Structure 1
């Protein structure tokens, strides 16, 4: 793909949390960055005096996604990097989850990234430089995910999709996935019981802390650059060494 210092990127769900960190890093790299979401954030990501553009789009709708890509391409005449970051799920018991709930979680976390990838590929295949797609996956897709079973299944599907599309769309388009571990965001602080809870969780990880959005953004920056020109179909774990198996703690009392 083109050098990241002169490319155009889209970060889905780029208005907060991990997505905002990714958008800010890509802006600092010199890319033109577009973020999308169902509503515009109060403050757009910015870095080095440059600010991201915003597109209103529900990635669960293929029609909205294709229309958004047409607008981005009309403005900039190229498209180099798509980061499928939008996703997530509230906790729910799989036994009682409604069909509509499960369908919407699958739409957001698996079908949405597919819609974005297809629209990006449509443009990238016409460019001499091709392009890069980065899927933000999760440890929930690589191990059991009780309480968010459908989300975990969707993220597992995203990992499989990454490998299949990398084979189908090369050599023009490179597609990789980042297996994200526990990340310290505002939402995580609420979920894990505040700063003290996050410190306890961080202490169990080999690197001694939860990830920061910057940790994920740094890997996206690498995958957007020519330094990763021969990396495609990869699953890069950014989880601080992984979670300690519960049985080890139980065995030690």
Structure 2
């Protein structure tokens, strides 16, 4: 059985929605009929064979985002059938950009705080500013976006979905600031769920090792071997994360939840070292 969702007439904002997991979430909501806005610091690439950009709707119920002088909308990520998708340039770490972004909405049903990430940066000897920026992106930005979006979400009876990470629930060597920020993000979601209930629901999708366009380089070329360490036999795909988001965004009772999308987690290294296959 395949679950389907109808988000027709609903307005969804996805941060960092131009590539990877964010683009997968955007495609899924568009296919479900939602009007989708994605934001990022840079527009998505526009292939020569792609259709013209989707214009920002101009009706009074859905005004274009940003002032007339703001950069024009880019091409939506991998257009899908269903509702329209539009791009708005914004750095979610910048309070002024957050204000401009959210100020363009007259209705918002779902906020997906997906923008995040970190370079590999061992704590010893690396720049304090780098770690501060990682925490700003992965924790402070979702807090500010959720705070600014709250009145709109409350009016719509909407929800916030935080895209968390397994790095926030187990050691994250080499990305300590990222792991700490994601742990904080998980707790922030739980706090907001209690603070904003019952008008606004807040949940977290905790993503494990994921197969995106950057995965092969990130895992040192050992893509298949790393996937084999996951009980499900492969890394999570953007559509796996998107399916959880579609469910959490549908009107319902669930709030304050952490949905683990990790294929059963990561097999402990000791179990590989002590297995009969490795031992011989």
- Is 1:155 the counterpart of 2:151? The answer is no
Deviates more, 1:106-115 or 1:242-251: 242-251
Distance 1:170 1:121 in 2: 11
Name which of 208, 212, 218 aligns with 2:233.
208
Number of the residue aligned with 2:92: 59
Listed as ranges, the gaps of 5+ residues in structure 1 are: none
Please state how far the C-alpha of 1:193 moved relative to its aligned partner: 3.4
Deviates more, 1:54-63 or 1:105-114: 54-63
Please state how far the C-alpha of 1:122 moved relative to its aligned partner: 2.3
Residues 87-102 of structure 1: pairs in structure 2 closer than 5 A: 87-102=116-131
Distance 1:122 1:105 in 2: 27
Please state how far the C-alpha of 1:250 moved relative to its aligned partner: 2.5
Distance 1:131 1:50 in 2: 18
Structure of greater relative contact order (alpha carbons < 8 Å, 6+ residues apart): 1
Spell out, residue by residue over 1:59-97, the C-alpha distance to the aligned partner (whole angstroms, 9 max, x if none).
0112211221111x1xxx311000000000000111112
Distance 2:44 2:272 in 1: 42
Distance 1:250 1:48 in 2: 47
User: TM-score scaled to structure 1, two decimals?
Assistant: 0.92
Residues 78-157 of structure 1: pairs in structure 2 closer than 5 A: 78-125=107-154, 127=155, 129-157=156-184
Distance 2:116 2:93 in 1: 10
More helix by share: 1
Listed as ranges, the gaps of 5+ residues in structure 2 are: 1-5, 47-75
Please state how far the C-alpha of 1:115 moved relative to its aligned partner: 1.1
Distance 1:49 1:159 in 2: 31
Name which of 221, 246, 250 aligns with 2:269.
246
Spell out, residue by residue over 1:120-147, the C-alpha distance to the aligned partner (whole angstroms, 9 max, x if none).
112222x1x4111000000000000001
SS at match of 2:145: helix
Please state how far the C-alpha of 1:149 moved relative to its aligned partner: 0.5
Distance 1:60 1:186 in 2: 24
- Is 1:15 the counterpart of 2:18? The answer is yes
Please provide the CA RMSD for this pair. 1.3
Please state how far the C-alpha of 1:50 moved relative to its aligned partner: 4.8
Distance 1:173 1:214 in 2: 25
Moved >4 Å (runs of 4+):
none
